[in-house]
Structure 1
Amino acid sequence: MPEPSVPLIPPRPAPAATRHFSWRGRKARSVAYQVLAVLAIALLGWLLVSNTLANMRLRGIQSGFDFLWQPAGFDIGEGWLSYDSASPYWKAFLVGIVNTLRVALIGCVLATVLGTLLGVARFSRNALLRGLSYGYVELFRNIPLLLQLLMWYLLFIEYLPPSSEALSIGKAIFLSKNGLSFPSLAWEHGQLQFQLPVAGEMQVEGGSALSPEFMAVLLGLVLYTSAFIAEVVRAGIASVPKGQHEAGASIGLSRARSMRLIVLPQALRLIIPPLTNQYLNLTKNSSLAVAVGYPELVSIANTSLNQSGRAVECIAIIMLVYLLLSLFTSALMNWFNRRAAIKER
């Protein structure tokens, strides 16, 4: 006879986890320490600001940011925004910020392209190309950036011909002590038209132009930063296993296509974090442009400081702008890093 079935007793559900808050717990202590640290920093900042303002009042020094709406009283040599000496200080700072972004954005793009080419060239089978890439990196990254900026600026203003004898390329591009002139697009008579520069007796007229100050800053930043980016790219490529190169060769890919389609995409996840640091360095190093007279943020802030006497306020504006630029660059590169990361299944 079959054995009688025994009813199964369902297992007793586990008791619901209860959370008891205790000041002796690790999490509670961690939160308490962080709150105390924030309060201490805030108190220290308040004491510093209040003490500074009190000392400034005792010495009869004006303070506050109301000067930003007063006429600046000085001209700016170049800029994309309309500005004259009657414009307020805030517009002068805005011109400086735009000039900083102008050289930083173009510099990041050019330095990335040049640095990537140099980093890839370090793995070339051509010994001469490898040697030239290695020599470039060791030369430009070991010379202080300030000296490079001064060197390029002196070369432009001392050894280039005057505007009346400007070097021309196809009668469309002119290079002289006054900078680089080239064709540009302009809106005339309801349509876009090319404006060609024309060499006159005194100067080159028409088209667009880059000042020698801008070219010196851009060239110095690009050559200096690309040397570091080249090493970042080289290290990223070297981290990819050798088997990946062999896998590309096994399916008939050339060495160049294997580098572009297989190796570089894998190296990118290791290249992006240190590449972010180089972008931040390039942006902050643009402040050295004041040494060659390029009117970026620091240069205009120094002039505003001398005109208005608001030293603390001008320095605070510089710090805030560079802080925001650095945070924005970091956030953008972190987003790109997440997009480029290898997704595991």
Structure 2
Amino acid sequence: MIDKEKIPLWRDSRFLKIVFQVFVVLMLGLIVLTLGTNLINNFKRLGLNFGLFFLIDSDRTASFSISDSLIPYSSTDSYGRAILVGLLNSLRVMIGGIILSSIIGITVGLGRLSDNWLVRKIASIYVEILRNTPLLLQLFFWYFAVFLKFPKIYEPGNFWDLIFFSNQGIYLPRPLGSLQTFLVLGFIIFNSFLIGLVWNKRYKIIVTLEKKERLYKGILFGILTLISLTFIFGIDWQLPQYDSDINLIQGGLNLSPEFATLLLGLTIYTAAFIAESVRAGIQSVSKGQWEAAKALGLNSGLSMRLVIFPQALRVMIPPLTSEFLNLAKNSSLAVAIGYNDIYAVANTVSNQTGRAVEMLLVVMITYLIVNLIISTVMNRLNTIVRLQER
């Protein structure tokens, strides 16, 4: 047998590709090192020290208050504590916005394809208005024309004495951290797993398709009803109460006008773009799939849920990823309405300490990490739903 001639390394394409990649990485590292060295040298020339240790220095207090805070905070805390508060404020807007905008966007996207003329037109008007209006302008509208126009604190509006609203915010019932609440939450989680089990095992029920559909719908409806009643009446709620003597609403969960504005504005703005992605994804499924589903005797609801929507996800997920990333980055507009997110807090810290470069890096790295997490999760989801080839 004749031995194959060994290919020299300088002619081996695989080796050359590795060398090229190593060269690119080294060049990027050299550039970053050069820029970092220049930055440190310039700081030394100006008599400044580059570093982030001032954030945890207990002798240097933040000396400013933050109205919205998920954790205990006072003006005597460190700058690092203030940055943490701003980060948590940003995360709750991002997470809440992604969840709510997805729900609204999918609903509106399906509405744009509805056979009902009124529903279809309302969904189209919603999308066209929201997509073609600047987000900052929408935030100003919700803040100055809606939330700040709520009744004064001494005459707050309310719904059934459960929800109060004024120009100082919206007050909702808040679950207390009692044993009763944790037991009810455990019961709800157990029933949620039960719903998933019924949903996944529904095809193994040995009955006809029509009876099968009615059977698992009835089971799911019963479990969902039980969960809803348990959530409403089982959890230990703290209700907001208006004290007329001091003109103050005490107790409950307070949503400040700034937080409510940012969450609502980002949600309905991003939902308009998500709706278009949903519509495009559904319309990308070939007409033959619809006809095949009808030939199997599936109604429109089953056809959408079991045949069309799973295939449309392959087209929808990439643009949905972009919209979620845009929502996370657009949350930095909070500074325009006075909401204390990480950008606003970092800006205040920068003005007080003169550490503009450090604070800029903190904000950039924070948004980078958040967006990388969103991208990783969505890419994983995209891998799961993609078409598996043999």
The verdict on a shared fold, with TM-score over 0.5 as the criterion, is yes
**Pairwise CA distance, 1:306:** 0.9
CA contact (8 A) 1:156 1:177 kept: no
Equivalent residue in structure 2 for 1:214, among 253, 259, 263: 259
Question: Quick check: 1:260 aligned with 2:305?
Answer: yes
The one-letter code matched in structure 2 to 1:90 is: G
Aligned to 1:249: 294
State the Cα deviation string for residues 144-174 of structure 1 (Å, max 9, x = none): 1111111111124432111221111111001
The one-letter code matched in structure 2 to 1:29 is: L
The one-letter code matched in structure 2 to 1:73 is: S
**Pairwise CA distance, 1:338:** 1.6
What TM-score comes out, normalization by structure 2 length? Answer: 0.81
CA contact (8 A) 1:175 1:181 kept: yes
Q: 1:152 to 1:30 in 2, by over 3 A?
A: same
**Pairwise CA distance, 1:140:** 0.6
**Pairwise CA distance, 1:37:** 1.8
Between the aligned partners of 1:254 and 1:210, the Cα distance in structure 2 is 42
Greater helix fraction, Structure 1 or Structure 2: 2
Equivalent residue in structure 2 for 1:205, among 221, 227, 250: 250
Aligned to 2:387: 342
Aligned to 2:334: 289
The one-letter code matched in structure 2 to 1:185 is: P
CA contact (8 A) 2:148 2:257 kept: no
Between the aligned partners of 2:384 and 2:21, the Cα distance in structure 1 is 32
Between the aligned partners of 2:380 and 2:19, the Cα distance in structure 1 is 31
Q: Does the residue aligned with 1:164 lie in a helix, a strand or coil?
A: coil
Question: Quick check: 1:322 aligned with 2:309?
Answer: no
Q: Does the residue aligned with 2:176 lie in a helix, a strand or coil?
A: strand
Question: Quick check: 1:228 aligned with 2:215?
Answer: no
Aligned to 1:7: none
CA contact (8 A) 2:294 2:303 kept: yes
Equivalent residue in structure 1 for 2:239, among 196, 221, 242: 196
The one-letter code matched in structure 1 to 2:264 is: L
Aligned to 1:130: 120
Between the aligned partners of 1:15 and 1:76, the Cα distance in structure 2 is 79
Between the aligned partners of 2:10 and 2:77, the Cα distance in structure 1 is 58
Q: 1:38 to 1:185 in 2, by over 3 A?
A: same
Aligned to 1:312: 357
Between the aligned partners of 1:90 and 1:18, the Cα distance in structure 2 is 63
**Pairwise CA distance, 1:33:** 2.1
Aligned to 2:75: 85
**Pairwise CA distance, 1:258:** 1.5
Unaligned runs of 5+ in 2: 182-235
Q: 1:170 to 1:21 in 2, by over 3 A?
A: farther
Aligned to 2:163: 173
Between the aligned partners of 2:303 and 2:240, the Cα distance in structure 1 is 44
Q: After superposition, where does 1:36-55 map in structure 2 within 5 Å?
A: 36-55=23-42
Greater radius of gyration (CA): 1
Unaligned runs of 5+ in 1: 1-13
- Return 28-37 or 299-308, whichever deviates more: 28-37
Between the aligned partners of 1:19 and 1:90, the Cα distance in structure 2 is 60
Between the aligned partners of 2:111 and 2:3, the Cα distance in structure 1 is 62
Between the aligned partners of 1:47 and 1:344, the Cα distance in structure 2 is 46
Q: 1:184 to 1:17 in 2, by over 3 A?
A: farther
Between the aligned partners of 1:180 and 1:80, the Cα distance in structure 2 is 16
Q: 1:18 to 1:285 in 2, by over 3 A?
A: farther
Equivalent residue in structure 2 for 1:271, among 305, 316, 319: 316
Aligned to 1:27: 14
Aligned to 1:8: none
Aligned to 2:199: none
CA contact (8 A) 2:147 2:261 kept: no
**Pairwise CA distance, 1:319:** 0.9
CA contact (8 A) 1:180 1:209 kept: yes
